[in-house]
Amino acid sequence: MTDFWNDVDRHVVRYGGGFTPEIITRAAGSHVYTEDGRAILDFTSGQMSAILGHSHPEIVDTVRRQVGELDHLFSGMLSRPVVELSRRLAESLTAAQDAVERDAPGGAAAAGRLEKVLLLTTGAESNEAAVRMAKLVTGGYEIVSFARSWHGMTLAAAGATYSAGRHGYGPVAPGNFAIPVPDAYHPDFTDADGNLDWRRQLDHAFALFDAQSVGAPAACLVEPILSSGGVIEPPPGYLAALQRKCRERGMLLILDEAQTGLCRTGTWYAFERDGVVPDIITLSKTLGAGLPLAAVVTTAEIEQAAYERGFLFYTTHVSDPLPAAVGNTVLDILERDGLDQRAAKLGDQLRAGLLELRDRHAVVGDVRGRGLLQGLELVAGAETPHGADRLGAEVTRRCLELGLHMNVVQLPGMGGTFRIAPPLTSSDEEIARGVEILDEAITGAVAGR
């Protein structure tokens, strides 16, 4: 083991935060296993991606079969898995749009049908393609995103990312603008009762954008629930109002559903709750259930305009058949097993457990989120700057010792916020056990301060 960590020190580039001090040798279901045989309950679904747990037998079978038949092609060639997945994603989004139009008439009227699909690899790549398409179609280049956003590490995606990674790399592409996060627990604009006045906040944000814009708006790229930004769920009505701001300015609305799409929040897509259908949606993490697969989905009208203007996104792994076959299996399992309903049920159980922790521990300030994407924010008092960061790190360490992998937001001033995203295939007992370990870890961390 000493040789392993010596090799890490000598040869592995450090790419953000520290490495978990365990050597992982295998994973199955809701657990990962260390080299010394210890089972660790995974409450992050890998990198917030393995919605079907690890090494799901049907995914394993698909990979084995597909890699022996058709794995990778010239980027201009198409295969049945790619076209099938494109059709099925379009059908799932049509069903979601139908629900929006039924429950919120007019909410989707101007968006058109999300039916044209581009299959890629990562979330950053899908956001890169979406922004590139929006710029080409609108003729503008100005992109608006939340001030605590995370959209990826490639050029356009990084330019629209404000939660981390901006210092020291020189200028981003011109035309990127940040708007404040509608954070109800830490409101900046408040009403007479001290609650978040998100309408006034949003009006102020776009007044500032209008003052700075050179008249070249292209798109607004946002997550329907900010994940790395602290699991912040915009209030009901916010996204619809944001969409109106976009339409008034000729901007496209791009929703990044890397972590919220495909059943995690209790519906197939998070936008269903808000009565809003975006002009472009990007999918990644959950689509491949842990394998590298991403998608951009837009309307026929936008795709046609992009095509006529010469849209180019010719990458090495565009439309690869192997990950597309995995995506089809993911959809099979989600549909057959009703995992949207399962995520809603488990999410209720998880949230109830977290609320009990809030009632029992003074250091638990807030619980928020939807379905199986929940956030828990620790507080340490104004007299201890970054105290919640240190407390979050200690709770994370103790959780790992007790057999639970948790993910704390690793940003200064936000390190006391946990992102909790177990697999959709978790059992009731695993959810209960995870909350129990978290309870024990918080108790121990507070006692040790």
Residue-wise pLDDT for 369-406, tens only, equals 999 999 999 998 654 556 788 999 999 999 999 999 99
Integer angstrom CA distances of residue 229 from 164, 224, 302, 418: 9, 12, 30, 11
Considering the chain, what percentage of its residues have pLDDT values greater than 90?
Answer: 90
The pLDDT value given to residue 271: 96
Distance between terminal CA atoms of the chain? 31
Residue-wise pLDDT for 55-97, tens only, equals 999 999 999 999 999 999 999 999 999 999 999 999 999 999 9
pLDDT at position 120 over 60:
yes
- 308 part of the active site: no
Catalytic residue among 135, 148, 370, 419: 419
The stretch 6-11 carries a mean pLDDT of 96
- 101 part of the active site: no
Question: Residue 356 — left, alpha, or beta (φ > 0 → left; ψ -120 to 50 → alpha)?
Answer: alpha
Considering the chain, what percentage of its residues have pLDDT values greater than 70?
Answer: 95
pLDDT at position 6 over 90:
yes
- 5 part of the active site: no
The pLDDT value given to residue 380: 82
Map out the domains of the chain with their CATH numbers. 2-56+338-447 (3.90.1150.10), 80-336 (3.40.640.10)
The stretch 210-217 carries a mean pLDDT of 98
Angle at 421 between CA 292 and CA 370, to 5 degrees: 115
- 419 part of the active site: yes
The pLDDT value given to residue 410: 67
The pLDDT value given to residue 284: 98
The stretch 168-185 carries a mean pLDDT of 96
Asked if 51 and 45 count as a contact pair (C-beta separation under 8 A), the reply is yes
pLDDT at position 110 over 80:
no
The pLDDT value given to residue 407: 86
Catalytic residue among 201, 259, 374, 410: 259
Residue-wise pLDDT for 402-440, tens only, equals 999 998 876 666 778 999 999 999 999 999 999 999 999
- 116 part of the active site: no
Catalytic residue among 116, 132, 148, 285: 285
- 320 part of the active site: no
Interatomic CA distance for residues 429 and 29, integer angstroms: 13
The pLDDT value given to residue 386: 61
Catalytic residue among 128, 183, 256, 272: 256
The pLDDT value given to residue 408: 81
The stretch 1-29 carries a mean pLDDT of 93
Catalytic residue among 125, 128, 223, 430: 223
Of 429, 373, 415, the C-alpha closest to 259 is 373
The stretch 334-351 carries a mean pLDDT of 98
